[in-house]
Structure 1
C-alpha cells in the first residue's frame, strides 16, 4: 500500500510538472505597424512556438506634465488604433494565438512614462478622466474580442504613487466591463511598490533587471546576477499569492546587454549577438521552470519578419538572429 501511495504521489507530481510547463505564456510583443496584418505575418509567430501575442495600441501625451491623452486619431499608425488592434487580434486568434491587450502611453520624444506627474489637482483630475476614457475603451474591446489578458497600464509609477485611490477605483470599473485576466506592467524597479496586486490576476513585470557588467556576459555571469533579483521577485509573488508574468523581457544584441537592459540609446550600436543570446538563456534558466512564474512576452516582434532584425541589427528584436533559435527551443518545451 505504501509503495502504491508513493507511485501515485510521483505520478501526481509528474502531471503537475507537465501542467506547469505546458501552461507557460510563451509570448511575443507584437509591434503595431502602419498596415493590416495577414496570415503571412502570423506564420513566423507560430514558427517560434509562441502561444501568446501582446497587442499594443497607443495613446500620446505631449509632455510629462500634460494631462491630455490623444488616441484613435487619423495621424496614428493603423496598428496603434482601436481599429488596428481589433484587426490584429482577430487575425492572430484565427491561428490560435492567445492575446494580451496592452494599451500604452507614449510621451513626446520618448520620455519615460514612469515620470508622468501633474502640477496641480485640476491637472490630475484631467489626467484621470483622460486615462479612464483611454483604458476603458480598450477594456470594451478586450471584452468584445474575448482576449485572455488585459494589461491596465505600463510603467506609470508616479501616476500610481500620487493617485492610488484612482487606480483602485479604475480597476473596479474595468472588472465591471471585462471578465478576463488582468495585469499591470510595472517597471523592473517599480513592481515591489505597486499597491494593487491583490486586485489583479498576474504580477506584471517589465523585466529589465541588470545582471552583468561585462561587455559579453556569459550565461554563468548572468545566472549569478539573477541571484540578487530572483528572491525579491519570488517574495512578491508569495506575498500576494499571485503568479509573476514578465509583461516584457529581452535584451539588445549589443555590447554590455546585461548592464542596463532598459536602454534603447541609439548611440549603443556595437552589435554583439552572443551577449543577447547568453543573457536570454540565463533568464530562461532562472525563471521558466518555476511554478510561480507564468511566462512572458519577448520584446519585440515586428510583423514584416523578413525585413526585421538580422545579424547586423543591434536592437531588441530576436528576429533573424541566433537568439531566435534559443527562444524557439524554449517555447517548444512541454
Structure 2
C-alpha cells in the first residue's frame, strides 16, 4: 500500500518524464488508451532510469537548517474524538492547545495512529483518512495551530496493535522482517514527507519496537538514512523503557534520544516522595549511562502516571482503579524535581493531554493531568 501523498508525487514525476520524452501532443493523444509493446516498454524504462539519475542534478535538494532543539516542555497531544468536532481538526483542539500553552508548554507531540492485528505476519499499514480519524488534514491543522502559538512540533506516528503492543512484533524469518521493514518504511515516509511539506520541527521515526530495533539495528540505520533524504528536521526514535532504551545501537544516527519512561518508582502502596526520588535516582543512572556513551540529548518522549491509588507501581498500566488525584500529583512532583539541572535532559513530553478539555468529564482516572491536581504542578514547573 502506498500513500496518496507519495503516489501522487510519483505519478506527477512520471508524467513529467513522458511529456519530456514523447512531447506534449503524443502524451495527450495516448493518455486515455496507452498501448505499448514489450520492446517499447524496455526502451522507455532505460530512458526512465536515466531521467531518475539526472533528476537530483536538475532539482538539487534545498538545504534547510533544522530548528535548534529547545528544552521541551509539553505533552503528547491525543486525538480523543471525531476529527472536525473534538479531534485534531476541531476548534476544541485549538482550545486544548491554548490551555497547554497557558500552562507553560512550549512543545507538543502529535500522534497519528495506524493499526495491525497480527504481530508475526508482515502486512501493509493503512493511512488514516476517514473524517473521524487522525487524518492528514486534521494533523496539519493541529500542528499549524501549535506552531502559531510558538510551540515546537514533534510528529510521532504510532502503531496500535490489537491485543498486544509494538514491542510484541516479532517476525519468524529474515525474509518476513525485510517485508515488515519495507511496509513500515512506506508508511513512515508518508509522514516524513508530510512533516517536510508543512515544516514540522521534528519527526519520531518509530515507537517501542523492542524486538525489531534490538534484532535488526542496520535496518533502522538504513531507514533513518532514507528518511533524511526526504526530511530536513530533527529525527528521533521513542524507545521503550528498559532493555530497548538501554541497548539500542543506532542512537548515534539520530539527533536526539527519545525515552518512553514507565520505570516504576516504588513497589509500596504509600511510599514517601523521598523514597520514590531514590528509586528515580537509579533510573537516572541508567539514563546517564546511555547519554555518556552517545552524547546525544535525551527527551522523555513519553512519561506519565494515571490518577489512581498507586500509579508509581506500574506506570504504564491501563486497568481501571479508584480515582486518586493526589497520588498522580506526587508522581509528577518526583519526576519534575528529579530532572532539574540534569545535563542529559532536553525536556519532557507527558503522556498525555486530550484534544478536547472536557474529555472523560470529572470522573477521570486516566493519564491526563487536565483539570486535576497535577495540572497545577505542571504549570508551576513549566513556568519556572
2:353 to 301, 310, 324: 301
- State the shift of 1:75 in Å: 5.1
- State the shift of 1:225 in Å: 1.0
Distance 1:287 1:309, change over 3 A: farther
* 2:198 equivalent in structure 1: 145
Distance 1:277 1:132, change over 3 A: same
* 1:160 equivalent in structure 2: 213
1:211 to 254, 265, 274: 265
User: Following superposition of structure 1 onto structure 2, how do residues 32-47 of structure 1 map, counting pairs within 5 Å?
Assistant: 32=79, 33-35=81-83, 36-38=89-91, 39-47=94-102
User: Is 2:77 aligned against 1:26?
Assistant: no
3-state SS, counterpart of residue 301 of structure 1: strand
User: Is 2:276 aligned against 1:222?
Assistant: yes
2:225 to 172, 175, 179: 172
3-state SS, counterpart of residue 282 of structure 2: coil
User: Following superposition of structure 1 onto structure 2, how do residues 19-168 of structure 1 map, counting pairs within 5 Å?
Assistant: 23-32=70-79, 33-35=81-83, 36-38=89-91, 39-74=94-129, 77-79=132-134, 81-109=135-163, 111-168=164-221
Deviations 1:53-85 (A, max 9, x none): 101111211221131143224457432x22321
How far apart, in 2, do the equivalents of 1:309 and 1:264 lie?
A: 18
Structure showing greater radius of gyration is: 2
How far apart, in 2, do the equivalents of 1:66 and 1:44 lie?
A: 42
1:284 to 333, 336, 359: 336
* 2:236 equivalent in structure 1: 183
Contact 1:69 1:130 in 2 (8 A): yes
Contact 2:129 2:136 in 1 (8 A): no
Distance 1:85 1:113, change over 3 A: same
How far apart, in 2, do the equivalents of 1:41 and 1:284 lie?
A: 22
Contact 1:308 1:319 in 2 (8 A): no
Deviations 1:181-212 (A, max 9, x none): 11110011120111100011111100111111
Q: Structure 2, unaligned stretches of length 5 or more? A: 1-68, 84-88
TM-score normalized by the length of structure 1: 0.87
2:248 to 188, 194, 200: 194
2:369 to 318, 323, 330: 318
3-state SS, counterpart of residue 258 of structure 2: strand
139-148 vs 29-38, which deviates more?
29-38
Contact 1:151 1:184 in 2 (8 A): yes
3-state SS, counterpart of residue 358 of structure 2: helix
189-198 vs 33-42, which deviates more?
33-42
Distance 1:37 1:274, change over 3 A: same
- State the shift of 1:96 in Å: 1.6
* 1:4 equivalent in structure 2: none
How far apart, in 2, do the equivalents of 1:128 and 1:206 lie?
A: 22
Contact 1:102 1:153 in 2 (8 A): yes
Contact 2:304 2:350 in 1 (8 A): yes
Distance 1:328 1:130, change over 3 A: same
Contact 2:323 2:364 in 1 (8 A): yes
* 2:310 equivalent in structure 1: 256
How far apart, in 1, do the equivalents of 2:264 and 2:247 lie?
A: 19
How far apart, in 2, do the equivalents of 1:43 and 1:91 lie?
A: 9
3-state SS, counterpart of residue 246 of structure 1: strand
216-225 vs 203-212, which deviates more?
216-225
Aligned residues: 307
Q: Which runs of 4+ in 1 moved over 4 A?
A: 73-76
Distance 1:244 1:185, change over 3 A: same
Deviations 1:85-119 (A, max 9, x none): 1222112212222200001011123x121110112
C-alpha RMSD of the superposition: 1.7
